[in-house]
Amino acid sequence: MKTMLLAVAVIVAVTGVFAYVIHTDPNRAQTRESLAVLREQSSGVPKDPSVLGYLDLKKHDPAEFNREFSPDLAMTETQSWIVQGTLLKQDYLLRQAEYKLAQIRSVGGDTTSKELEEKRLAYANATKRFQTFWDSTAPSK
């Protein structure tokens, strides 16, 4: 009986210490933000307009984003706007993946805040370039 009580006391103490360490972790908010990246869809346009990387695809048929600007179509199509749109879309998706990877790596300290900010800025710029193209160049059908 004493052994069982001692085991329970040790488990409660270890759990308490673990909870205290987690509660007082100075990187707790950053860790939560970075781990939230893992819950997001792997790539594509975020649905929330307030999120970095959001594209307003309402000016044209949103299905065009995937249909018109696919690498397969760009390889067979002679219209320069399709090739340009495909390149901008691929750059957008690449910068998105690099930013998400930098967020995850920042949890372990493998990425500095400067590198993370550079990836965020590159993603924001790629988003802006593609949004500008989408709003001004791509013809509606």
Q: Residue 53 carries which DSSP code?
A: T
Sole residue written with tokens 């988003």: 127
Residue 18 shares a structural domain with residue 50: no
Residue 24 shares a structural domain with residue 44: no
Residue 76 shares a structural domain with residue 116: yes
Show the tokens assigned to 94.
Answer: 């690449």
Q: Residue 139 carries which DSSP code?
A: P
Residue 97 shares a structural domain with residue 128: yes
Separation CA 69–CA 45 (nearest Å):
14
Residue 44 shares a structural domain with residue 5: no
Separation CA 62–CA 80 (nearest Å):
20
Residue 70 shares a structural domain with residue 127: yes
Strands (E) across 32-113 are located at none
- Tell me if 9 is assigned to some domain: yes
- Asked if 77 contacts 83 with a C-beta cutoff of 8 angstroms, the reply is yes
Is the pTM of the predicted complex or chain greater than 0.95? no
Segment 135-139 shows an average pLDDT of: 71
Question: What domain range is 2 assigned to?
Answer: 1-28
Residue 68 shares a structural domain with residue 118: yes
**Mean per-residue pLDDT of the chain:** 80
Separation CA 26–CA 32 (nearest Å):
12
How many domains is the chain built from?
Answer: 2
- Tell me if 34 is assigned to some domain: no
- Tell me if 8 is assigned to some domain: yes
Residue 141 has pLDDT above 50, yes or no: no
45-81 per-position pLDDT tens digit? 787 888 888 888 777 776 777 777 777 777 777 788 8
Interior angle at CA 54, CA 49 and CA 55, nearest 5: 110
Residue 19 shares a structural domain with residue 45: no
Residue 45 shares a structural domain with residue 9: no
Separation CA 2–CA 93 (nearest Å):
60
Q: Residue 140 carries which DSSP code?
A: P
- Asked if 60 contacts 43 with a C-beta cutoff of 8 angstroms, the reply is no
Residue 16 shares a structural domain with residue 67: no
- Tell me if 87 is assigned to some domain: yes
Residue 13 shares a structural domain with residue 54: no
Show the tokens assigned to 38.
Answer: 């893992």
